[in-house]
A and B are shown apart, each in its own frame.
Chain A
Amino acid sequence: DTGVSQDPRHKITKRGQNVTFRCDPISEHNRLYWYRQTLGQGPEFLTYFQNEAQLEKSRLLSDRFSAERPKGSFSTLEIQRTEQGDSAMYLCASSLYGQGNSYEQYFGPGTRLTVT
């Protein structure tokens, strides 16, 4: 399978704990995006990278959230001191910027986070 992959698929954690999610984009894609989706809503943008550079962050991304893409390949999203309001599906997407269809973003299966 050459699509976007995310790990883990499900995470249950207690309030106050730290969690880290991983995303592996489609191999030749240079842009990687993180979105958050709550029940009954559309995905909301969190941040995106072009290669290893983080180019935009949403106001939704509080100080407790940090994302990295150290070598321009996979990315990690860490949430520190989790709160119940962080419970959501965290989606990763990738795209190939600089080619004809560079706006096409392809999503992974998501990581479902439940904070108890």
Chain B
Amino acid sequence: QQQVKQSPQSLIVQKGGIPIINCAYENTAFDYFPWYQQFPGKGPALLIAIRPDVSEKKEGRFTISFNKSAKQFSLHIMDSQPGDSATYFCAGHGGATNKLIFGTGTLLAVQP
């Protein structure tokens, strides 16, 4: 019940395209859903996060869409750039614990 399932495992888009990464969770006690961006050899960097009381959140070119009834959420990257090429992780937080439960990651390549 603690899992967060993430798809796709990898994604290739052209510059200017809109990659979409999807996550599904099982634990209905989760109350915070962040997305992290990680470059090779670096630690994960907090990108954007959402609480389950809203259905969408935008920050710059990054948008989270949240569907509480389906227990799913997704990250959209508008006008993607080669510099967005990285691994993206979704996560869930809450319930009886203060830890983050991460998905398995999506390796995004944005081709120029």
Contact = CB atoms under 8 A, between A and B. Distances in A.
A binds B: yes
B63 interface: no
A56 B99 contact: yes
Contact of B32 (A103, A106, A112): A103
Interface residues of A, number: 25
B105 A103 contact: no
Contact of A105 (B41, B94, B100): B100
A109 B98 contact: no
B34 interface: yes
Contacts, number: 59
B34 A48 contact: no
A42 interface: yes
Interface of A: 4, 6, 31, 33, 35, 40-45, 48, 55-56, 58, 91, 103-110, 112
9 contacts: A41-B104, A42-B105, A45-B101, A48-B99, A91-B44, A105-B46, A107-B36, A108-B43, A110-B43
Given A43-B100, A110-B42, 11 more contacts: A33-B100, A41-B105, A42-B105, A44-B102, A45-B97, A45-B99, A48-B98, A91-B44, A103-B32, A103-B94, A105-B34
